[in-house]
Structure 1
Amino acid sequence: MMRDIAELGADFSTSITVNPDRLKILDKVRTIDTDWLCILSPQPQVLPRYLVITRTLSADVWIFLLVTITVWGVCLWGLQRAESRLSGRRSESFGESICYGWAAIVDHPPNPPSNLSGQVLVGWLLIGTLLISSCFKSSLVANLTVENKEKPIDSYEGLVKKVNWKWGVEKFFLTGAPLLYFSQNPDPVIQFIYNHTESMVGDLGLEKVRGGRYSFLSTFNRISYFLGVLYSDTFGRHPFYVSKSRYRISSDIGLGIRKGAPFLRRFSQLVHRLAEAGILSHWIKDVLQGRISEDRKLYRQKMKEGNVASTEGTSNAAFAQSLEDEREVVLKMEHFLGLYLVFLCGLGMAMITFLVELYFAFRHLGK
């Protein structure tokens, strides 16, 4: 097209990327709205149900509770020891003081200490454990009512953080002017994506995404076309997730007019009016929906004739699985597997403690 304009064989070019060399033969370029780059990934899966008990609180909250209760138990033991030396009364052992805090968290605290300082310390602990216990129970109910899913891939950063994950880019993005967006971008995240990406056409990219643990980068309208024609059922359901974040590849894509074209002023005014009235964006959506509808009918006709394989079953199966995940949750054994793991860990720690006690007991008897 640029050669035709340079040789005066054409007056007008649509959707070109501006650079200094092209501006030598183009009299004016009006920037137009370009399609946005987005990330297509598989639908987020439900998190393992056996972690529902530990997932009610975040990891830092669990660590905070462990450290706080341990420090509180040490403080209670120290106060009891100091009071015992002054009054001569028996004080709780170190183990009893530590277990007191954990018993208070599960709403079964033992009798409070006899000294006033210990009672004050226990009183403040009971206030804190009341709040913690209420938060834990409400969070547990919420997690059992609506099960959590994996965090969807909504940005470049979320894509590169995925473990054992691959991605590909639409083939034409790695050629010509769009290649500069990836190859010369100063953002290290985009550079990492570019260095580890695969190049392929759109329908092949969607097939790899459907296989799992794969994402595909393409323009939103192009992805919408493939989803509407190949993978969506009559209700528009499909087994994919389209990122909410959209990225502009280039802001210098526009309409090119050769130098000295007599219709430049009138043409620019007309395009400006259409853009400000919102007609251009409406035309794009209308044309896209019409193309999807026509090609969808053609694709279904080919499926009936047996010329192409059907992909609709996959979308229906994925939607059925999403309904299965979102319906009312019935408690199963897998929900309590995390609790059993906690019991096993406690049993293991008790056995280790018992062996340590046996070691010191035999050592004492040997002396």
Structure 2
Amino acid sequence: MYVTNADDSNGRRLDNGSWSGSIGMVHRGEADFTAAISLDLFRYHVGEVSEIIFIDEYSAAYKRPSVQSDIAGFVKPFTPLVWVLVLVLLLMVLVAYSLLSFTQHSLAILPTPTTRNHGVGGREVVQDGASGKQEPNPSKHNIINSDAVIWTVCSLLAQSVPLEPPRGVVKSVTGLWLLLSLILATVYRSNLKAMLILPKVTLPFNNLEELVNAGLPVWVSLDSHLHRSVYFADPNSLLGGLNSTIYNAGQPNNTTWGATGLIEGVHVVVVPKYALLQVMNTHFSKTGKCSIYLMDETFMKTNLLCLFFKRGSPFKHKFNYLIRRMRESGILDHFYQRALMNITECLKPIKSEALRPLTLGDFYGIFSIYLGGLYIAFCYFLLELLRASTGS
């Protein structure tokens, strides 16, 4: 006959020396043995345990995060290193174009010399002022001018700007920059579409350190081996830091209450991984949805699961024989896999490869840049008005 205790817990030692939960029922003779429970030093000394059934590890679960729009998706087509290289290349082209244009402009305003023979092999160079080509003073031609800046940037942004570059090497530089800008713009557009369509998934935590730093409320069974380990751990350690996030002291301690709050997103549940997998499997079997997120990394990887007996119980040796036979023949592993047969879909990485229509949130990043540009232009316009009104 299968019996349950009132608080639906494994049990913990009370102040008067007695035990609560299923361990207390066995200790009082109300039950012959418990279901598989975690073994620790306190439980080991109060009764007898069977052969090890399963070695589990602790993990944490939370409400499964939903996909959302990526506001910064417009910068994702290129890696940060590529963006830095594009910026450096932009500055290099701007400087090269400006220097070459300035040099060619300076050479163009020099007077055209004429020569005349003077003797057999000698010749004398004289300046022909009439035929010299007079142009504006080179000192009035800045090395970096606004036309060069506007053309270099607009070419990269695929915007048309009228420009007739000088002949020679300057025209070669402009041609190469136009070709490179075309390649960069084409690659960016193709990657941008894929980056915006694929949604973004933000995981709340993926290891114990991130869980502690997240500051989310954590539910832990107050009679578990984990709770005692957390309570006595160094406050400066990761395990000790978890103690400040446990919030269910003085509240219901049964696993049903903890699992309900997990599915509703009220708190994080930290229990042995197999227990979390059972909750996920049961919920998916009933609803057909994966509503629970399980972090990848685990901790306290030597959580031993055994049956608990009263001292001198005649059932211990019989169960030990059965457990050894079933474990060595692989029957226990078969039972484990069969109990979690519906959980495969929920253990896949949280991502979506399916295409989706773009939403307004996908353009928030681009709109913010546009509004920022309008704000800067408006401020510059006010400065021009102020300068004109002061007459400076």
TM-score band by shorter chain is 0.5 to 0.7
Structure-to-structure mapping, 1:223-302, within 5 angstroms? 223-229=276-282, 231-232=283-284, 234=286, 236-251=288-303, 271-272=323-324, 274-286=326-338
Q: Of residues 187, 196, 220 in structure 2, which corresponds to 1:135?
A: 187
The match for 1:96 is 147
The match for 1:151 is 203
Structure 2 unaligned residues grouped into runs of 5+:
1-22, 110-137, 344-349
What residue identity is the alignment partner of 2:102? Answer: R
Provide closer, same or farther for how the CA distance between residues 351 and 73 of structure 1 changes in structure 2, counting only shifts above 3 A: farther
- Partners of 1:206 and 1:38 in 2: CA distance: 14
The match for 1:216 is 269
The residue matched to 2:56 in structure 1 has which SS? coil
Mark the structure with the bigger radius of gyration: 2
Provide closer, same or farther for how the CA distance between residues 257 and 204 of structure 1 changes in structure 2, counting only shifts above 3 A: closer
Deviation string 1:307-357 (CA, Å, 9 cap, x unpaired) is xxxxxxxxxxxxxxx9xx986533455544443333222222122223334
Alpha-carbon shift at residue 195 of structure 1 (Å): 2.5
Provide closer, same or farther for how the CA distance between residues 219 and 72 of structure 1 changes in structure 2, counting only shifts above 3 A: farther
Q: Of residues 341, 345, 355 in structure 1, which corresponds to 2:372?
A: 345
User: TM-score under structure 1 normalisation?
Assistant: 0.64
Q: Of residues 191, 206, 216 in structure 1, which corresponds to 2:240?
A: 191
Provide closer, same or farther for how the CA distance between residues 240 and 11 of structure 1 changes in structure 2, counting only shifts above 3 A: closer
Between 81-90 and 15-24, report the one with greater CA deviation: 15-24
Provide closer, same or farther for how the CA distance between residues 260 and 166 of structure 1 changes in structure 2, counting only shifts above 3 A: closer
The residue matched to 2:288 in structure 1 has which SS? coil
- Partners of 1:335 and 1:11 in 2: CA distance: 58
Structure 1 unaligned residues grouped into runs of 5+:
293-321
Structure 1 residue 35 and structure 2 residue 87: aligned?
no
Contact kept in structure 1, 2:64 and 2:293, CA below 8 Å: yes
Contact kept in structure 2, 1:51 and 1:338, CA below 8 Å: yes
What residue identity is the alignment partner of 1:330? Answer: P
> How many percent identity over aligned positions?
17
Which protein has the bigger helix share?
1
The match for 1:305 is none
Contact kept in structure 2, 1:38 and 1:245, CA below 8 Å: yes
User: TM-score under structure 2 normalisation?
Assistant: 0.60
Deviation string 1:118-142 (CA, Å, 9 cap, x unpaired) is 4455455445534432332222221
- Partners of 1:181 and 1:342 in 2: CA distance: 47
Structure 1 residue 17 and structure 2 residue 69: aligned?
no
Deviation string 1:13-35 (CA, Å, 9 cap, x unpaired) is 96563549958998x98555333
The match for 2:102 is 81
Contact kept in structure 2, 1:74 and 1:94, CA below 8 Å: no
Contact kept in structure 2, 1:203 and 1:226, CA below 8 Å: no
- Partners of 2:369 and 2:33 in 1: CA distance: 75
Provide closer, same or farther for how the CA distance between residues 100 and 45 of structure 1 changes in structure 2, counting only shifts above 3 A: farther
The residue matched to 1:46 in structure 2 has which SS? coil
- Partners of 1:63 and 1:330 in 2: CA distance: 31
Contact kept in structure 1, 2:281 and 2:340, CA below 8 Å: no
Between 345-354 and 85-94, report the one with greater CA deviation: 85-94
Contact kept in structure 1, 2:218 and 2:268, CA below 8 Å: yes
Measured on the aligned residues, the alpha-carbon RMSD in Å equals 4.9
